[in-house]
């Protein structure tokens, strides 16, 4: 707009000079040709001068009015731009600093004061390098001033001694003084970096978890395979009984994974809740019209076992519960009570399963028994590095002692 106005003013001035010169040269001849009378000549001269002055005044008024209007428009635009810049500067969500060629801070916005934890008066006059940790920054700073690149993850140190990761952008800053100034944008990326670290850690955990799942599936399949091999070696049971027994064993393993999934934890299992769910499931599944077994739970301490401990422990408990259903009560019994206790005893976790049935047979040799169930229990006890004892007073009591240092906290 200013350039257009300057061109228009120059054209009007040139045209005015040309026409004024023509008027001065031609007007006298015209006046002499029109009138030879001296009085009329003077009158025409005066009128000519008045016309020239009036034309000049009109042109000057037009030019001054246009110039004044343009100045007012430019002033309003400048005020609008300054106001917009000030709003952007004041309300920006990133820190903005204006510095000179010596890296001296000249201006700072409120967000930069929050980032640097200093007031504007404390920041102004300081060197930008006063807030930096990296010795190599000035080199990067000068390069980025020209290239407009981003210096990522620069650590700044604040007056209170704390440091903060920021993303820094430097750009040339030109104003009316035409002095060499630069603008610096500080973007707090500490939260972003923290989130990125958490995501990387989460991905790593998921990879470890996936590998653990594959490992557990492999182990569980190996356990099931071993159970099938042991069962196939026992020719005393019917096919229906074999299938029912294997189904219950697999259910005891599946329940562990179900509870782990529900608890959103994959490292350890709360055994009290698991034992309660397993016992109720076994008793309900194998309940008969002949006898009803009522469970009583005495879960004194909250005990967590690692997944590698929980599976063999669950299989042992399952075998003992199945033995109670099959062998604990005589044909004349109609109701029975099954007590299950879980507690911490010094350096061991103690599981006690006690029924009020007929007790153990006279020829029972404990861990020396060669039945399939006892063979399985013996192998699982060795796997747990645990101990098991049998007592036959007023029924049968089985006590399992699992080392606490092997269990999950």
State the pLDDT at residue 339.
93
State the pLDDT at residue 399.
94
Q: How far is CA 368 from CA 45, 50, 276, 326, 352, in A?
A: 148, 141, 29, 20, 20
Listed in sequence order, the residues at least 6 apart from 364 whose beta carbon sits closer than 8 Å to its beta carbon are: 390, 392
CATH ID of 227-406, from 3.10.350.10, 3.30.565.10, 3.40.1190.20, 3.40.50.720: 3.30.565.10
Break the chain into its structural domains and give their ranges. Answer: 2-90, 93-188, 227-406
| Residue showing tokens 């016992």 | 279
**Residue 178 region by backbone torsions, left for phi larger than 0, else alpha for psi between -120 and 50, else beta:** left
CATH superfamily membership of 93-188: PAS domain (3.30.450.20)
Mind listing the pLDDT tens digit for each residue in 312-332? 898 899 889 888 888 888 777
Tokens of 217: 């599936």
> Among residues of the chain, what percentage have pLDDT more than 70?
71
DSSP string, 56-80: HHHHHHHHHHHHHHHHHHHHHHHHH
State the pLDDT at residue 230.
65
State the pLDDT at residue 1.
47
State the pLDDT at residue 298.
92
Global pTM value: 0.50
Mind listing the pLDDT tens digit for each residue in 55-83? 777 777 777 787 788 888 888 888 888 88
Distance CA 230, CA 372 (A): 7
Among 20-29, 242-251, 266-275, 335-344, the minimum mean pLDDT is found in 20-29
Q: Mean pLDDT over all residues of the chain?
A: 78
End-to-end CA distance of the chain: 78
Mind listing the pLDDT tens digit for each residue in 129-168? 788 765 555 555 555 545 455 666 777 778 888 888 888 7
DSSP string, 287-341: --SS-EEEEEEEE-S--EEEHHHHHHHHHHHHHHHHHHHHHSS-TT--EEEEEEE
State the pLDDT at residue 34.
62
Average pLDDT over residues 81-91: 83
Distance CA 375, CA 359 (A): 20
State the pLDDT at residue 180.
76
State the pLDDT at residue 62.
78
């Amino acid at each position: 707009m200013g350039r257009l106005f300057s061109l228009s003013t120059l054209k009007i001035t040139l045209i005015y000079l040309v026409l004024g010169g023509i008027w001065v040269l031609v007007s006298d001849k015209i006046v002499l040709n029109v009138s030879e009378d001296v009085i009329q000549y003077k009158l025409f001269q005066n009128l000519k001068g008045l016309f020239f002055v009036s034309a000049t005044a009109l042109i000057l008024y037009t030019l001054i009015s246009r110039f004044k209007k343009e100045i007012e428009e430019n002033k309003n635009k400048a005020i609008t731009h300054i106001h917009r810049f000030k709003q952007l500067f004041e309300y920006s969500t990133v820190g903005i600093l204006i510095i000179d060629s010596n890296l001296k801070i000249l201006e700072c916005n409120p967000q930069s004061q929050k980032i640097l934890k200093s007031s504007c008066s404390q920041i102004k006059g300081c060197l930008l390098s006063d807030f930096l940790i990296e010795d190599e920054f000035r080199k990067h700073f000068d390069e980025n001033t020209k290239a407009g690149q981003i210096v990522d993850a620069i650590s700044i140190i604040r007056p209170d001694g704390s440091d903060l990761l920021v993303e820094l952008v430097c750009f040339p800053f030109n104003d009316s003084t035409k002095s060499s100034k630069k603008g610096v944008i500080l973007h707090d990326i500490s939260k972003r970096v923290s989130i990125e670290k958490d995501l990387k850690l989460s991905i790593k955990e998921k990879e470890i978890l996936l590998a653990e799942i594959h490992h557990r599936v492999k182990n569980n399949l190996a356990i099931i395979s071993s159970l099938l091999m042991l069962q196939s070696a026992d020719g005393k049971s019917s096919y229906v009984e074999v299938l029912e027994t294997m189904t219950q064993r697999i259910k005891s393993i599946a329940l562990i994974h179900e509870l782990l999934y529900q608890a959103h934890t994959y490292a350890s299992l709360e055994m009290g809740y698991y034992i309660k769910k397993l016992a109720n499931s076994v008793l309900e599944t194998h309940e008969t019209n002949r006898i009803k077994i009522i469970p009583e739970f005495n879960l004194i301490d909250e005990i967590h076992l690692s997944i590698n401990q929980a599976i063999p422990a669950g299989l042992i408990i399952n075998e003992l519960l199945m033995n109670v259903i099959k062998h604990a009560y005589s044909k004349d019994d109609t109701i029975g009570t099954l007590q299950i206790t879980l507690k911490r005893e010094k350096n061991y976790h103690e599981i006690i399963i006690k029924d009020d049935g007929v007790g153990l047979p006279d020829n029972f040799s404990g861990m020396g028994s060669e039945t399939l169930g006892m063979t399985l229990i013996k192998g699982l006890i060795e796997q747990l590095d645990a101990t098991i004892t049998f007592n036959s007073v007023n029924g049968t009591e089985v006590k399992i002692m699992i080392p606490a240092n092997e269990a999950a906290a």
